[in-house]
Amino acid sequence: MSRYDGFHEFVVARGGALSRTAFLLTGEHHAAEDLVQTALAKAATRWRQIMEYGQPEAYVRRIMVNEQISWWRRRPARPMAELPDRVGPDEPGRVVERVVLTRALATLAPRQRAVLVLRYYEDLSEADTAAAMGCSVGTVKSQTNLALTNLRRSLPLVAEHAGQYADAPAALAAARRRRTRLTSAAAVLTALPLLLGAVWFTLAGATPAPPPVTSSPSPSAPAPPSGPVTPLPTVVPPGDALPELPADRGVRGGALVLTKQNSDDPVHELLGGDGRRYRLPSRPTGGFTVEPILSPDGRWLLWSSPQGTVARDLTTSTVHRLPYELTQAQWSPSGRWLFAQRYPEIGELLVRIDDWSVRESVPSDAAKPVAAVLDSGELLRLGQVTDTTVTLDRVDPLTGAARRITVNLRGVLRADESAVAVRTDHGNGEHSEIAFILPVADGTAGVEISGSGPGRAGLVTAVVRFAVADGRVLNRMDLSATGSFSRPLCFHGSDLLWTDGTRVIGGGAYRLPLDPVYGYSPPGCVRVAGPAPTG
Separation in Å, CA 264 to CA 268, 489, 519: 13, 24, 15
Question: pLDDT tens digit string along 400-409?
Answer: 888 999 999 9
HSE (side-chain half, CA atoms, 13 Å) at 445: 26
Does 433 have pLDDT greater than 60? no
Q: What is the mean pLDDT of residues 203-213?
A: 40
| Cβ 328 vs Cβ 368: under 8 Å | no
Instruction: Note whether 251 and 276 are within 8 A (CB).
Output: yes
CB-based burial label for 211 (10 Å; 0-12, 13-18, 19+): exposed
Q: Is 391 exposed, middle or buried (0-12, 13-18, 19+ CB in 10 A)?
A: middle
Say which DSSP state 315 is in.
T
What is the pLDDT at residue 364? 61
481 pLDDT above the threshold of 80: no
Query: What pLDDT, on a 0 to 100 scale, did the predictor assign at position 327?
Result: 86
pLDDT category at 94 given cuts 50, 70, 90 is: low
pLDDT digits (tens, 9 = 90+) for 519-532: 999 999 988 998 87
Question: Considering the chain, what is the average pLDDT of its residues?
Answer: 77
- Which residue type does 68 have? Q
Q: Is 464 buried (19+), middle (13-18) or exposed (0-12) by CB count in 10 A? A: buried
Given this model, what pLDDT does residue 482 score? 55
2 or 175: whose pLDDT is higher? 2
> Which range among 60-69, 71-80, 463-472 shows the weakest confidence by mean pLDDT?
71-80
| Closest by CA position to 414, among listed 357, 383, 453 | 453
Contact present, 301 and 286 (Cβ < 8 Å): no
- CA–CA dist 249, 314 (Å, integer): 8
Angstrom distance (rounded) from CA 151 to CA 128: 23
**pLDDT exceeds cutoff 70 at 313:** yes
- Residue 278, beta-bridge partner list: 270
What mean pLDDT do residues 220-225 have? Answer: 36
Instruction: For the chain, list the domains and their CATH numbers.
Output: 7-76+91-180 (1.20.140.160), 254-521 (2.130.10)
**pLDDT tens-place string over residues 15-65:** 888 888 888 888 778 888 888 888 888 888 888 877 877 778 888 888 888
For CA atoms 173, 122, 397, 491, the dihedral sign is positive
pLDDT digits (tens, 9 = 90+) for 352-384: 999 898 888 876 666 688 999 999 999 999 988
